[in-house]
Structure 1
Amino acid sequence: MDKRVRLSAPGLMAMVIGSMVGVGVFSLPQALGKYTGVVGSLISWTITGSGMLILALIFQRLAWRKPELDAGVYTYARVGFGRYTGFSVGVRLLVRQLSRQRGVSRADQVRARDRRAFIRRWQYV
């Protein structure tokens, strides 16, 4: 009865990409628009887009200067600042990803509970 199900690498990648797309595309604009309105949303999207562009350009320049480093942020931090900092960055990335997954699953649970309550309330009308 101890049958373990293994998640393949493509399945794991699909889960991570799906959670990022789900959080970024569906949850964030709804919450942002609810509290800031149209002008606040446009300002925050402009700031966020500019920051992402700057970050992409930084990683592009790092890739040009050090093409042998191909393991991402962890490797750049380790080579640039030492082993301890690289380890610290790697642990923080892992914790951030795990907490993000937990946050997404919790948000899905709350939304499902709210949908069930809404359906129960209106099914006999």
Structure 2
Amino acid sequence: MEDKKLGVITLAGLVVSAMIGGGVYNLPENMASAASAGAIIIAWVVTGIGMWFIAKTFSILSNIRPEVTSGIYGYGELGFGKFMGFQVAWGYWICNVFANVGYAILLMDSFNYFFYPHFKGGNNLLSIICGSIVIWGMYFAVMAGVKQATFINNIGVVGKLIPLFIFILVLLFKFDFEVFTTNFWGKDVIPSLLDKDLGGIFPQVKSTMLITLWVFIGIEGAVVISSRARSQKEVGKATVIGFLSCLIMYA
């Protein structure tokens, strides 16, 4: 493999790419179904504070133990022994295996929109074949060297961010404060708006945090590939930068 080292911007891009998945485009719908605007704001604040400490934990660990370059596996072994290090590595691996299956199904289901009905929701034989080709193609691209993997990742980051930036830009011009503050705490029943009483504020916040916590999976992205970084200090900076960037875009 090529011996190219990654800088802080590239590492931060990897963190952003790992965290921002297809689910980000469904955030408004998923949150609004069970929580009001006020509860959602509280959930983002609480989640942001909690995830900040996680990001800072990775940052501190990468600075004080720069010799540990295998990320969360290395930290698990360093703190709790080889068996726990293995458990962390195996657990992380199996999670990514299942994630790849989910990504393949989502991709093929998206293709089904354009090539209906050949992919049938991403669950037929053609979907399995095409999804496997995509996954193995990405695998061989990564194994060919970090330069190729970084290039592919950059394309993915740009592809994810452009729709989000367009959405934010449109929002700046179309935002209606009166609409935003209507039924702000979700306690009013407004039949004309199909608004119903969403219950107490704490159940609303709880239902929203189940979503907000999920979207930060991938915050460990820079730590996992810290062996490819120019320095461990850049790993810590990239983790914090990536987290803050995603938090702002999500909120």
TM-score by length of 2: 0.35
Q: Closer, same or farther in 2 for the Cα pair 1:18/1:37, shift >3 Å? A: same
Shift, 1:93, TM fit = 0.8
Q: Closer, same or farther in 2 for the Cα pair 1:36/1:115, shift >3 Å? A: farther
Map of 1:7 onto structure 2: none
Q: Closer, same or farther in 2 for the Cα pair 1:41/1:111, shift >3 Å? A: farther
Counterparts of 2:18 and 2:54 in 1: how far apart (Å)? 21
Following superposition of structure 1 onto structure 2, how do residues 25-36 of structure 1 map, counting pairs within 5 Å? 25-36=24-35
Moved more, 23-32 or 34-43: 23-32
Map of 2:76 onto structure 1: 77
In structure 1, list runs of 5 or more residues that go unmatched. 1-16, 118-125
Shift, 1:44, TM fit = 1.9
Q: Closer, same or farther in 2 for the Cα pair 1:107/1:31, shift >3 Å? A: farther
Letter of the structure 2 residue corresponding to residue 22 of structure 1: G
Shift, 1:28, TM fit = 3.6
Q: Closer, same or farther in 2 for the Cα pair 1:42/1:31, shift >3 Å? A: same
Greater fraction of residues in helix: 1
| Percent sequence identity over aligned pairs | 27
Q: Closer, same or farther in 2 for the Cα pair 1:93/1:107, shift >3 Å? A: same
Q: Deviations over 1:1-26 (max 9, x none)?
A: xxxxxxxxxxxxxxxx7574223522
Q: Closer, same or farther in 2 for the Cα pair 1:63/1:18, shift >3 Å? A: closer
Moved more, 24-33 or 92-101: 24-33
Alpha carbon RMSD of aligned pairs, Å?
3.0
Counterparts of 2:104 and 2:26 in 1: how far apart (Å)? 12
Letter of the structure 1 residue corresponding to residue 63 of structure 2: W
Q: Closer, same or farther in 2 for the Cα pair 1:42/1:109, shift >3 Å? A: farther
Shift, 1:81, TM fit = 0.6
Counterparts of 2:93 and 2:43 in 1: how far apart (Å)? 27
Counterparts of 1:50 and 1:30 in 2: how far apart (Å)? 23
Shift, 1:47, TM fit = 2.0
SS in 2 for 1:35: coil
Letter of the structure 2 residue corresponding to residue 72 of structure 1: G
Map of 2:96 onto structure 1: 97
Counterparts of 2:53 and 2:27 in 1: how far apart (Å)? 21
Are positions 1:50 and 2:43 aligned together? no
Moved more, 89-98 or 78-87: 89-98
TM-score by length of 1: 0.63
1:19, 1:101 within 8 Å by CA — same for their partners in 2?
no
In structure 2, list runs of 5 or more residues that go unmatched. 1-15, 117-251
SS in 2 for 1:68: coil
Shift, 1:53, TM fit = 0.5
Q: Closer, same or farther in 2 for the Cα pair 1:102/1:48, shift >3 Å? A: farther
How many aligned residue pairs are there?
103
Counterparts of 2:112 and 2:63 in 1: how far apart (Å)? 49
